[in-house]
A = this chain, B = another copy of it.
């Protein structure tokens, strides 16, 4: 005999031993090997020893993919996680929390970044479902997730994180975006600021829109009016925020305070302020906390989110569905928390 499973010599990938090979070497039926591999009862110690020896000798490893295909529940012990950008600290914290909950259950996580591309969102969601993930956690980027209704009905639970579902009913875990932004900007108006600039993502992104509306509400509450020159939408990166801040500071009538609607934007704004030495003159409150915000001079005041808590809850909700939870879908609001560190407490010019 020259090789196991001889028919497969033509394939590029070297042959791996199968249960059949182990059974043949041990001189037992394939079902007995299956029993030993799966630690089922009703195997004599002698049989078990023979099977284990043979498996060891061949370097046998079970093919989980084949096993899942045949198993009754159709489960693969894999979930999919679609986030904006896994390299963003917020997304990375969500990912890590989801991983922790999943790994405690022996479930693996397939991840992908969407980069604000709705076409990519649909394609990746479909691909993951076609790969038989047991469930999906998604921070959607498009304005319509109705394409997931069929999958949901077909039994794949879907949980939204960070951003709410649109045109589909599903569990969701999101920050109190409107209230958080309102709190942040009120913190500035309370100190007398009226010329408060807004820096944030395109309002097509729901969270950005909600935060912008919180900003508007805070202005309204003090009878302030929207000053178009102070509003910068489509600012979603460190560089864009830096550039926008530079422009704002160079204007004839610059703002006395900035509200930055997400972590990268806050960092870019901070860099802009430092670049022109204005960090102790122009106030700044950011949405979402970030590393070292407390060490800068002044410290950066933020409305902090709870990405770890959000990821953990999203994963728990998903597994609850997989465990049979049939209660109506619900949106879970995770409160934000104002952290005063100095930059948000600076008085107007």
Contacts and interface: CB of A to CB of B under 8 A. Distances in A.
Contact of A111 (B12, B109, B270): B109
A88 to B, nearest CB: 8
A132 interface: yes
Contacts of A92: 86-87, 89, 92
Interface stretch (A149-157, A176-184, A209-217): A149-157
A295 B271 contact: yes
Interface residues of A, number: 61
Interface string A87-112: 10100110110010001000011111
Given A92-B87, A103-B112, A274-B295, A63 B130 contact: yes
Q: How many copies does the complex hold?
A: 2
B109 A11 contact: no
Contact of A96 (B86, B155, B291, B296): B86
A237 interface: no
- For A112, A131, A154, the residue with the greatest tally of chain B CB atoms inside 10 Å of its CB is A131
A160 B108 CA distance: 20
A294 B62 CA distance: 51
B112 A108 contact: yes
Interface string A139-154: 0000000000011011
- For A59, A65, A112, the residue with the greatest tally of chain B CB atoms inside 10 Å of its CB is A65
23 contacts: A10-B72, A13-B75, A13-B155, A14-B153, A14-B154, A16-B155, A59-B150, A61-B126, A61-B129, A63-B130, A65-B68, A78-B110, A87-B89, A87-B92, A87-B93, A87-B95, A108-B127, A108-B128, A267-B291, A271-B294, A290-B292, A291-B291, A291-B292
